[in-house]
Structures are given as structure tokens and as C-alpha cells.
Amino acid sequence: MKKASVFFLCMTVIIAGCVQNKSSQKPAVAKAIPQTLATGAPIPEVNGEIDPIANPSAPKGGTFTTWGSGFPKSLNVWLDNNSFSQEVMGYLFESLVSLHSTKNEPVGILAQSWTISDDKKTFTFRINPNARWSDGKPISAEDVQFYYDVIMNPHNMTSLYRVDLQRLFRPEIVDEKTIRVRARGTHWSNFWVASGLNAFPKHIWNSVDFNKQNFDFPVVSGPYRIKEVEKNRYLVLERRGDWWGATKKYNQGKYNFEFVKYKFMEDQNKTLEAFKKGDFDAYAIYTSSLWMKQTDFEAVHKGWVVKQKVYNMEPKAYQGFAINMRREKFQDVRVRRALCFLINRELMNEKLMFNQYFLLNSYFPDLYPNNINPNTPVTHFNPDSARALLKAAGWEVGSDGFLAKNGRSFNLSFLTYNVDFRHLNIYVEDLKKVGIKPTIEQLSQSTVTKRMDNHDFDLYWVNWSASRLRDPEAEWHSSTADQIASNNYTGLKDKTVDSLIEIQKMEMDINKRNDILRSIDRRLCEIVPYVQLWQADHNRILYWNRFSAPANVYDKFDRENCIVTYWWYDAAKDAALQKAMKANTPLPKEPFEVHYRE
């Protein structure tokens, strides 16, 4: 799964940790956001600045072929929330404002300028007069209001996106190019929710059923359009030569490929083999065993394929087993701590993941040096400590060798739809050794989702994504604990956490908000709502040596999804690659490790 693209700001990026991900995600503490605090005079989109990641001299042209994972139910991300559709729609449609590539500051996309009221509840955006739809029609304030109306329409299957938009009143059209957005309450994220509003082509979609807009998007505003889509096989995007945004300085040297082709395959191993044959130009690897065992092949040795570990400041969240604290047996923190002592993370990391991960001791790891909270000890495998905690909590080993309390055995179930049980099997055996009776419930993904929505589980393995702008409310506030389908999987209800979240809502300075998050982190580590696992501090990529990229390969905060934005086809490199392959001679190798440098 790939990280959400920046256009998706109002729904995903501001709510750190509210998106499940197959891989680790989501920066170091950043400076405050003065633009979001300013009032009065209009704020310019960017002061004529070129994106510092991009190379303005990058040539246009070429085709980039990449993996699209499994074919989505819909490309319309507002109907089918998946990371692939997020990425594609991000190339087709644009928001008013997005995040700068290297600074936690807003950058105008459709908006040319904006003002913020003194009470930080009213935001007025002036749309760039040059903004056009691909059919030549001007993009207007009415199109932004139409986006709000479409998402908020209860007939449309867009309920996930209504969660944040409910913070806003219906946008008001001031004039053809000016839209005013008022928030219902005070919250630091109101600006980002408002500025994350997209524009939809009202003159095209006003009379159609939005729920049926799945694969056909002939009128768009972004740098690419859909050229061809073949279900379960491929999708081709074509760069728009008439894109209105191409003349903006901030877009110079970006979106360079003439065509972007996504090929769909379900199996990662088969995808890797297809990459080795040249069917894909790049392949990001998130499985350590694949990386360590199956990427040492001739094309890598000869420099035809570049193999790199990329370190940057991508926001990192956490993963672990969510403990359903609504259930009586998990309400004692000693039991939850015991479960943490019984998972042999060191063994799993060494034997199954080749020590490619660091062990988590935080829910916001990237807020600390080296991703480790210095105020919380890292929990290591210790069955004796677990036994002592369980005994103190009233669980006694019976004559049958199993733990019991008040006549009930300690049964524990892992809910999953995954097929790889290697980690679970190790954990299960160690749980058995202290007298717990664990089982694994493997069900369909839809059934697991329904069970999770209704809080019907014991433990569930989840990997959360993060962002530069973190809002902990959805995942940790007690008001969400009993909601159906909430992100508060563990059912956490804690007055201290609630009070800190309420303070964080009102704080406009990102540095101070991150200080509050560290306080929340300390409290969460005391409560132990998750059996924490591990996270990666780098990303892994293979690509054929026919492309040029920014100095840091990726940008400051992203992973491979930034390739389409910043890389370019290098004809000279491709010629050298073809010559070397024909002659069976090596090419100079690129560095194996790349560390982000400003």
C-alpha cells in the first residue's frame, strides 16, 4: 500500500494514524506554520518559489511503468478509499492548498491567495484566475462548493470523507473566483480541512450519479489524464500538455513522464520476478525476506538495476496488536503488560525480518531522536515478568496447566485475514507456555472489517500511517471509544488523554502541538493499549538504471509515490543501459544507501 498523495490532505494527511497501511509510514519536529496563524492581508500561494526537490531542467518524455498492486474496485477514491486510487486521483484533481515539499507550510494549488479571520474560523480563498479544467472551462468557486455538496450528499457513498467536512459549514461563493469557508468550532486543523477542499467539474457532474463515476474521468484539472484502463491488467496516465499549472514556478521540473503505466498483479513474488524481466521500471519492497533473499541477482551486480535503501524524514507511526480493552480480561494493565513481555520481538526481527526494523516504544516514534522515546524503556521478551504480572492480576495456573480466574480460562483470539502466520505462530507458542489458550481466527477481509467495526475481537494486528500534521482525536479520544467503525480500536477512555487532546485542538503552533503529543505518548505507554511491534526507518527500492532523480532519490517526506512527481526519463542513461546489457558489461553502481540532506 502506498502513502496518500498530498491532494488528499483534508481527509488523510491531517489525521495522522487514521489510515491502515501494509507498510510503515508516514518527520522530525518542524517549525511553526506562520501562514496558518496570520490574519488580515492575503497570503500568497508561494513567493515565486521553485519546489526545492524538483530539477527545473528535467526533460519531459518517456514512459514509467510501475506496479499497481491489485486492481481497485474503483479509481474514485471518494467512493473506494485505497492508497492506489488516492495516488491516481491526486494526478487528476487538485485541492485549494497543499503542504510544501520541505516545510510544514501551505502552498497554493488552485488557490492563488487566502485570508484567515482573527478567530481562525473563517478562511477566504482566491482561486487562481488561470486555473482551467481540461476542457478549457475556468475553475470557479462554484466548483469548490460543488465538491463539498457532492461529498456531503447522503445519497453518495462518501461517508468517510464527511467526517472532517462536518467541521465546516457549506462554503459560501463570494464571487466567481472567491470562496469563503467557515468552521463550526475552533481547531488548529480547520485551515487544513478547508484548504484541502477539491474542485469537481460541476458543468460535467451536476446531472450524473457520482456513485457511478468509477473509471471514466474525461474532465480533470491536474497534470495527468486517464488515457486507457483495462480492468485487472493496466492503467495508463497521459501527461497533459495543456495543464494550466505547468507554468507555475512551483511546478517546474515536475510531472515529467509522458506516460505512467500501472500494471496490476496481486502476488508480490510474481511481481518481483516480472520486474527482473523488465516488465516494471521500479519496484518498492516492503517485505524484508524478499529484500534480503531475492534481490541479489545479476542485473543488480552489474549496475543495470539500482538497489537502494532510502532514509528520509517520512513521518512514522506505529504498528502492533490492538488490545480490546472493552473486554474484562484486558482491563487490568498488568495483563496488557504481560502480553507485551510475551512477544519475542527480538527473535522475530532476527529470524524473520533480518534485523531490518527497530523495536517500538512509542506511538509517535519520529518525534524522538532515532525514533526511540528516551523516557520509556523498550520492552524485551521476559516470560518470568509476564507470569508475575498475570499472577498479581489474579490469574492462577490450574491443574490442567492453563491460567484461570474466577473459574474462567484465559482464552485469547487473534483476528486476521492474512495468510502469513509466521509471527503469530511464534507468539502463540510463547503464550501457551505461560498457560494462555490462544487461537487464530482467519476470516475474509470483509468479515474481519465487520467484526472490527463492531468491536468483536480480542487482539488485532494493525499498522497505522502517520503525517506531518497529527490529530490524535479519532484514535484516542474517549468520545470515539464506543462508536461503530471508529479508529479507536482499543476502546481507550482516559481523562488525561482526553484533556491533552482538547488542549492540542486549540494550539496553532506545531512545535507546541508536538510537545503535547509527547505527553500523550507518555500516558499511552503507561496504559498499554497495544502490544507494540516494530517499524522501519528506511524504504527499499529497485529500479532499472534509465532514470534520473533528485539528489536524495525521494523527497523529504515521501516514499516511492513521489517518483511520478520528481523523476525523469534519462535518454543517455537508457542508451548506456541498453549498450551494457547487449555487451554484458557492468555500469557504475549508484550508492546503496541514500540519506536525505537539505
Q: What is the pLDDT of residues 231-245, one digit of tens each?
A: 999 999 999 999 999
Cα separation, 165 vs 154, in Å, equals 13
Please determine, for residue 12, whether its predicted confidence score (pLDDT) is greater than 80.
no
The band of 445, judged by pLDDT with boundaries at 50, 70 and 90, is: confident
Rounded percentage of the chain residues whose pLDDT exceeds 70: 92
Cα 43 from chain centroid (whole Å): 28
Rounded average pLDDT over 430-448: 96
- For residue 383, give the C-alpha cell: 516470560
Please determine, for residue 284, whether its predicted confidence score (pLDDT) is greater than 60.
yes
Residue 17 C-beta-side C-alpha neighbours within 13 Å:
22
Overall fold of domain 6-14+43-224: Dipeptide-binding Protein; domain 1 (3.90.76)
Domain 319-535: which CATH class?
alpha beta
pLDDT digits (tens, 9 = 90+) for 550-582: 999 999 999 999 999 999 999 999 999 999 999
Please determine, for residue 428, whether its predicted confidence score (pLDDT) is greater than 50.
yes
pLDDT digits (tens, 9 = 90+) for 326-340: 999 999 999 999 999
> Can you give the pLDDT at residue 212?
95
Please determine, for residue 27, whether its predicted confidence score (pLDDT) is greater than 80.
no
Please determine, for residue 420, whether its predicted confidence score (pLDDT) is greater than 60.
yes
pLDDT digits (tens, 9 = 90+) for 255-276: 999 999 999 998 999 999 999 9
> Can you give the pLDDT at residue 163?
84
Rounded average pLDDT over 523-547: 97
Mean pLDDT over each residue of the chain, to the nearest integer:
91
- For residue 336, give the C-alpha cell: 496488557
> Can you give the pLDDT at residue 48?
64
Phi, psi of 97 (to 5 degrees): -145, 155
> Can you give the pLDDT at residue 365?
97
Please determine, for residue 423, whether its predicted confidence score (pLDDT) is greater than 70.
yes
pLDDT digits (tens, 9 = 90+) for 143-190: 999 999 999 999 999 988 998 899 999 999 999 999 999 999 999 999
pLDDT digits (tens, 9 = 90+) for 364-375: 999 999 999 999
Cα separation, 265 vs 51, in Å, equals 33
What DSSP designation does 332 have? S
Please determine, for residue 5, whether its predicted confidence score (pLDDT) is greater than 80.
no
Which residues, other chains included, contact 483 with Cβ-Cβ below 8 Å and sequence gap of 6+?
A: none
Cα separation, 484 vs 493, in Å, equals 15
Cα separation, 490 vs 458, in Å, equals 9
Where do the domains of the chain lie?
A: 6-14+43-224, 267-307+542-598, 319-535
Name residue 423's beta-bridge partners: none
The band of 465, judged by pLDDT with boundaries at 50, 70 and 90, is: confident
Residue for grid cell 469557508: 181
> Can you give the pLDDT at residue 598?
84
Please determine, for residue 32, whether its predicted confidence score (pLDDT) is greater than 60.
no
Please determine, for residue 2, whether its predicted confidence score (pLDDT) is greater than 60.
no
> Can you give the pLDDT at residue 83?
87
Cα separation, 144 vs 174, in Å, equals 12
Name residue 115's beta-bridge partners: 124
Name residue 532's beta-bridge partners: 320
Q: Which residue has the higher pLDDT, 586 or 468?
A: 586
Helix (H, G, I), strand (E, B) or coil at 284: strand
> Can you give the pLDDT at residue 42?
53
CA-based nearest residue to 180, from 54, 300, 42: 42
Cα separation, 561 vs 319, in Å, equals 21
Please determine, for residue 446, whether its predicted confidence score (pLDDT) is greater than 90.
no
The band of 453, judged by pLDDT with boundaries at 50, 70 and 90, is: very high
Which amino acid is located at 20 in the chain? Answer: Q
Which amino acid is located at 41 in the chain? Answer: A
Radius of gyration in angstroms for the set of CA atoms belonging to the chain, rounded to a whole number: 25
Which parts of 73-156 fold into alpha helices (H)? 83-92, 141-152
Rounded average pLDDT over 440-468: 94
Please determine, for residue 499, whether its predicted confidence score (pLDDT) is greater than 80.
yes
